[in-house]
């Protein structure tokens, strides 16, 4: 009976140890699981925060790119509008040259050009207006100057020395070219407001 009591006592001790080991194992497993959950939650939150940050940065970048593209498109449209105005100016010059009004314009161009005349200069002008130029020169004290037709000067006149060492031109397209940047700026302002750009 004593052996049986000893076996019972030992079995109880073994059962108690097993139960204690099981409790410790369950406690450790719970701690490991809790820590894993905490780490997973922390990692998930960090990943979500990083993803949110990247998405915000991408949104900002796309917004900046869209804004830059819209600015380029707006500037392109403005430049096209100004270019259309400048082309209409060139078309108007061609129209004026072919109209009866051109002789009056030619007189004004000659008047300005003749302020630079000295000695035996040659006056160049459009072939269709050579006789008008000779007549104007005679009427304005420059009748001794030679007049030659020039295919280059379809919209104005020029003064040149006989040796061709210099030429002073006074043409509508030349005047327009000298004012090109200022004219474009004025077009921008008039078409699109104070800043124009």
Residue 191 has pLDDT above 70, yes or no: yes
**pLDDT band at residue 162 under the 50/70/90 scheme:** confident
Once rounded to an integer, what is the mean pLDDT over residues 143-167? 91
Q: Report the distance separating Cα 17 and Cα 166, nearest Å.
A: 119
Write out the CATH class of domain 66-197.
alpha beta
pLDDT digits (tens, 9 = 90+) for 100-137: 999 999 999 999 999 888 778 899 999 999 999 999 99
Scan for tokens 């104070």, then name that residue. Answer: 194
pLDDT digits (tens, 9 = 90+) for 51-109: 889 889 998 999 999 889 988 998 899 899 899 999 999 999 999 999 999 999 999 99
Q: Where are the domains of the chain?
A: 1-37, 66-197
Instruction: Give the pTM.
Output: 0.64
The tally of CA atoms less than 13 A away on the side-chain side of residue 119 is 5
């Amino acid at each position: 009976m004593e052996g049986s009591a000893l076996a019972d006592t030992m079995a109880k001790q073994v059962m108690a140890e097993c139960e204690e080991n099981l409790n410790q194992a369950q406690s450790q497993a719970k701690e490991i699981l809790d820590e894993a959950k905490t780490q997973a939650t922390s990692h998930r939150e960090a990943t979500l925060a990083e993803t949110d940050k990247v998405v915000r940065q991408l949104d900002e970048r796309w917004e900046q790119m869209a804004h830059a593209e819209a600015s380029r498109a707006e500037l392109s449209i403005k430049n096209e509008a100004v270019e259309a105005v400048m082309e209409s100016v060139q078309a108007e010059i061609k129209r004026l040259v072919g109209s009866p009004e051109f002789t009056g314009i030619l007189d004004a161009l000659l008047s300005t050009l003749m302020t630079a005349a000295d000695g035996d200069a040659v006056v160049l002008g459009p072939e269709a207006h050579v006789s008008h130029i000779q007549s104007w020169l005679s009427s304005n004290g420059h009748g001794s100057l030679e007049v030659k037709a020039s295919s280059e000067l379809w919209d104005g006149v020029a003064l040149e020395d006989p040796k061709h060492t210099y030429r002073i031109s006074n043409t509508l397209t030349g005047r327009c070219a000298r004012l090109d940047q200022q004219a474009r700026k004025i077009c921008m302002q008039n078409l699109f407001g104070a800043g124009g750009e």
